[in-house]
Amino acid sequence: MSLLTRDMACQELVELVTAYFDGSLSRSDRRRFRAHIRGCDHCTAYVEQMRQVIEASGRLTEEDVDPRAREELLEAFRGWSEAR
């Protein structure tokens, strides 16, 4: 799967997750975001995890996303796309 396709890539979703929750995504990005989640168990789990962070803290900022966890996730995404 190429990052240049119209479909949202896992990595892009991870980048956009804070914007998704604070409502700053454009309508088309929001639609692509939701469409991606429907077809991707990994991102469903990631978004659910972020939702729990928001429920616990009342907000989500870039600083709330553990950079190490985020890096590990992006590593995992790279592995998945290479496996395809």
- Which residues contact Zn ion by CB under 5 A? 10, 40, 42-43
Among residues 25 and 43, whose Cβ is nearest to Zn ion?
43
Q: How far is the CB of 58 from Zn ion (least distance, A)?
A: 26
How far apart, in whole angstroms, are the C-alpha atoms of residue 26 and residue 23? 8
Q: How far is the CB of 3 from Zn ion (least distance, A)?
A: 12
Q: Are 52 and 35 in contact (CB under 8 A)?
A: no
Q: How far is CA 25 from CA 3, 18, 65, 66, 68, in A?
A: 19, 9, 18, 22, 24
Among residues 30 and 42, whose Cβ is nearest to Zn ion?
42
Among residues 11 and 54, whose Cβ is nearest to Zn ion?
11
Q: How far is the CB of 76 from Zn ion (least distance, A)?
A: 10
How far apart, in whole angstroms, are the C-alpha atoms of residue 9 and residue 61? 21
